[in-house]
Amino acid sequence: MKTASEDGLKRRDFLANLALAVAGLLTLGGFAARFFAFLYPDVPPEKTLEVPVIARDQIPANGGVVVNLPVGHVALIDVRGEIRAFSAVCTHLGCLITWQPTSDHVWYCPCHKGKYDTEGRVVSGPPPRPLTRYPVSVREGRVYVTLKVRQPMESA
């Protein structure tokens, strides 16, 4: 038969164990939170910016070129005098497209043989979406493209 004091003893023991467990877990959690924040990269925010990319005359007539900037890769194409800008990153898995004008496509992705046309639409292959299109402005012989950019990550 349990006496009242035995019950009280058990409860006091349980409380002490509980206090210990809760305090311990919270503190462990505190350290874990700090260390996780340390490891999680400091990703700079994205900003929409108009960036000078290339001189107008460097894009051949009815031709295309891929420009690699520190903050992105831009595919430019001249279609009967109109300059169009796309992201040069294949929408499938991130490889860079190349200019490869043929009868059915102009951009080719070597990784999984994705093909895009002059409007950035997928002609064949696995890419799920058309190429991202960027607004273009040509001023004083320079081509400006409006991109979403991030500052490059800080590193040693």
User: Count of CB atoms within 10 A of residue 30's CB?
Assistant: 10
Question: Among residues 47 and 113, whose Cβ is nearest to another protein?
Answer: 47
Least Cβ distance, residue 146 to another protein (angstroms):
10
In the DSSP assignment, the letter for residue 57 is: G
User: What's the rounded Cα separation, in Å, for the pair 131 and 86?
Assistant: 6
| Site residues (vs another protein, CB under 8 A) | 12-13, 16-17, 19-20, 22-24, 26-27, 30-31, 33-35, 37-40, 42, 44, 47, 49-52, 69-71, 149-151, 154-156
Q: C-beta of 2: minimal distance to another protein in Å?
A: 19
CB closer to another protein out of 92 and 150: 150
Q: How far is the CB of 59 from another protein (least distance, A)?
A: 15
Sheet containing strand 114-116, edge to edge, reads: 98-99, 107-109, 114-116, 122-124
Closer to another protein by CB, 40 or 61: give it.
Answer: 40
Cβ–Cβ contacts within 10 Å for residue 58, how many?
14
Q: How far is the CB of 63 from another protein (least distance, A)?
A: 20
**Residues 117, 119, 122, 128: is their CA dihedral positive or negative?**
positive
Residues 6+ apart with CB under 8 A from 38: none
- Residue (4 or 156) nearer to another protein, CB: 156
